[in-house]
């Protein structure tokens, strides 16, 4: 046992000795969460639009004013005719063009309808949809304001909208659980696989294997420091989210940490598994990148809603451990769920962990023989 801890100490020295990697390990999550916490938001404001006002009368000016006063739109004054719209779209300068027909006020006063045309850049369908809705709300409000009670039916359904839990539509609420998962994966799986493969590539592994240490002790010794690092990183991300961005922690912190520990174990065993397959660091890196990081980012529900995926991908997402972990983290942090609600996910995660551990230890032994 003493020998084992000596080995662990050696591994720690290796990591400590390399301040650059350490800085990255701890600086990276901090920088990322700060950057994204403040920068990534889905709230659309001040979208550049062009208003082609062919009427230039009272009504058109009022509509223009209320559009610009809404805070959603910013007028691009360079585009003032229909021909310019096409070019502005092509250069990506505007998101929408509002075309107000000539004689708007007169047509309205004379009781004829008038049609305002909205051309929106739908290359991004969601933004396009949202902008059109904002604009139509503004125009509807104009209509309501000018509906004189005597003439037409004053049927006015008002709408008040509340964005609960996250009024500014910040991305950070989803980002903290996601970032935690990714960091844990990165530190545990990627770092371990690379550090073991490195010994292989350098030929040091042979030296270690002829030492009196058991192979399993060598693996564990490689893994333990990263376990600590990963947990420290998890705490860091959690703390930042909680204290800087007011991400709620509705459930139990201890449960969250325990679940993180389980997830880290499964990631570490994946790392070991990769290192048994890969012969060089480059291969280990690319394998863990393509085989672990990308599925974690893509299919875990962190960035992309799983419900929207085709069935095949939804099925595949079940074998991505991160998917279950993210469900657990979101449940604990945002909804305050306890183990009673999350035992299925926890069991699945535990199952993965045992499976990967057994598999990787087995492979490691085979390789030695």
Which DSSP symbol is given to 101?
P
Q: Which residue, among 150, 146, 157, has the nearest Cα to 113 in the 3D structure? A: 146
Task: Answer yes or no: are the C-beta atoms of 288 and 280 closer than 8 Å.
Answer: no
Q: Which stretch binds other proteins (CB under 8 A): 221-229, 237-245, 252-260, 279-287?
A: 279-287
Residue 46's CB: how many other CB atoms inside 10 A? 10
Selected from 231, 232, 283, 357, the binder of other proteins by CB under 8 A is: 283
Q: Which stretch binds other proteins (CB under 8 A): 14-22, 218-226, 265-273, 344-352?
A: 14-22
The nearer residue to other proteins, 24 or 358, going by C-beta atoms, is 24
Question: Using the rule CB under 8 A, is 208 a contact of other proteins?
Answer: no
Give, as ranges, the residues between 304 and 323 that touch other proteins (CB under 8 A): 304-305, 307-310, 313
Q: Which stretch binds other proteins (CB under 8 A): 197-205, 216-224, 258-266, 343-351?
A: 197-205
Task: Answer yes or no: are the C-beta atoms of 264 and 328 closer than 8 Å.
Answer: no
Q: Which stretch binds other proteins (CB under 8 A): 207-215, 226-234, 281-289, 355-363?
A: 281-289
Query: What's the closest the beta carbon of residue 144 comes to other proteins, in angstroms?
Result: 7
Q: Which stretch binds other proteins (CB under 8 A): 49-57, 252-260, 284-292, 361-369?
A: 284-292
Give, as ranges, the residues between 211 and 270 that touch other proteins (CB under 8 A): none
Question: Using the rule CB under 8 A, is 127 a contact of other proteins?
Answer: yes
Task: Answer yes or no: are the C-beta atoms of 32 and 81 closer than 8 Å.
Answer: no
Tokens matching residue 287: 């394998």
Give the three-state DSSP class for 25: helix
Give the three-state DSSP class for 354: helix
Give, as ranges, the residues between 333 and 352 that touch other proteins (CB under 8 A): 334-335
Question: Interhelix angle for 172-185 vs 215-245, to 10°?
Answer: 160
- Dist. CA 63–CA 100, nearest whole Å: 9
Q: Which stretch binds other proteins (CB under 8 A): 30-38, 208-216, 267-275, 360-368?
A: 30-38
Selected from 8, 33, 47, 256, the binder of other proteins by CB under 8 A is: 47
Question: Using the rule CB under 8 A, is 17 a contact of other proteins?
Answer: no
Question: Using the rule CB under 8 A, is 19 a contact of other proteins?
Answer: no
> Parallel, antiparallel, or unpaired for β 96-100 and 73-75?
unpaired
- Dist. CA 346–CA 93, nearest whole Å: 48
Query: What's the closest the beta carbon of residue 59 comes to other proteins, in angstroms?
Result: 8
Sign, Cα dihedral of 43, 45, 50, 51: positive
Selected from 157, 210, 368, 369, the binder of other proteins by CB under 8 A is: 157
Sign, Cα dihedral of 119, 124, 129, 130: negative
- Dist. CA 150–CA 215, nearest whole Å: 90
- Dist. CA 126–CA 147, nearest whole Å: 31
> What phi and psi values does residue 170 have, to the nearest 5 degrees?
-70, 150
- Dist. CA 190–CA 183, nearest whole Å: 10
Query: What's the closest the beta carbon of residue 129 comes to other proteins, in angstroms?
Result: 6
Selected from 159, 210, 368, 369, the binder of other proteins by CB under 8 A is: 159
The nearer residue to other proteins, 133 or 365, going by C-beta atoms, is 133
Selected from 279, 318, 362, 367, the binder of other proteins by CB under 8 A is: 279
The nearer residue to other proteins, 285 or 357, going by C-beta atoms, is 285
Between 58 and 97, how does the x/- string for binding to other proteins read (CB under 8 A)?
-----x-----------------------x-xxxx--x--
The nearer residue to other proteins, 45 or 56, going by C-beta atoms, is 45
Selected from 186, 230, 265, 274, the binder of other proteins by CB under 8 A is: 186
Integer-rounded Cα Rg, in Å, for the chain is 29
Task: Answer yes or no: are the C-beta atoms of 218 and 7 closer than 8 Å.
Answer: yes
Query: What's the closest the beta carbon of residue 359 comes to other proteins, in angstroms?
Result: 20
Selected from 9, 69, 71, 133, the binder of other proteins by CB under 8 A is: 133
Geometric angle at alpha carbon 267, from 262 and 273, rounded to 5°: 130
């Amino acid at each position: 046992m003493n020998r084992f801890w000596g080995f662990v100490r050696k591994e720690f020295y290796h990591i400590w000795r390399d301040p650059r990697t350490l800085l990255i390990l701890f600086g990276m999550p901090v920088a990322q969460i700060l950057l994204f916490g403040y920068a990534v938001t889905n709230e659309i404001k001040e979208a550049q639009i062009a208003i082609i006002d062919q009427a230039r009368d009272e009504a058109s000016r009022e509509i223009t004013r209320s559009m610009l006063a809404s805070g959603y739109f910013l007028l691009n004054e360079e585009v003032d005719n229909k021909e310019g719209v096409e070019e502005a779209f092509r250069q990506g300068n505007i998101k929408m063009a509002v075309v107000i027909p000539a004689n708007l006020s007169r047509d309205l006063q004379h009781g004829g309808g008038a049609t305002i045309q909205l051309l929106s850049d739908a290359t991004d369908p969601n933004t396009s949809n949202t902008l059109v809705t904002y604009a139509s709300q503004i125009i509807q409000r104009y209509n309501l304001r000018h509906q004189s009670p005597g003439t037409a039916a004053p049927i006015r359904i008002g709408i008040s909208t509340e964005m609960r839990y996250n009024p500014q539509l910040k991305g950070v609420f989803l980002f903290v659980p996601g970032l935690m998962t990714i960091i844990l994966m990165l530190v545990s799986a990627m770092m371990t696989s690379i550090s073991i493969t490195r010994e292989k590539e350098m030929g040091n592994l042979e030296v270690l294997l002829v030492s009196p240490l058991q192979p399993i002790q060598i693996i564990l010794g490689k893994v333990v420091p990263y376990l600590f690092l990963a947990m420290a990183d998890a705490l860091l991300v959690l703390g930042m989210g909680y204290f800087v961005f007011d991400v709620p922690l509705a459930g139990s912190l201890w449960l969250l940490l325990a679940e993180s520990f389980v997830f880290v174990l499964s990631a570490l065993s994946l790392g070991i598994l990769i290192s048994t397959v890969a012969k060089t660091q480059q291969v280990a890196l690319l394998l863990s990148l393509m085989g672990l990081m990308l599925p974690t980012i893509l299919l875990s529900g962190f960035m992309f809603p799983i419900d929207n995926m085709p069935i095949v991908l939804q099925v595949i997402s079940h074998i991505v451990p991160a998917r279950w972990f993210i469900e657990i983290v979101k449940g604990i942090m945002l909804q305050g769920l306890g183990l009673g609600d999350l035992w299925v996910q926890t069991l699945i995660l535990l199952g993965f962990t045992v499976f990967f551990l057994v598999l990787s230890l087995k492979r490691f032994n085979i390789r030695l023989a």
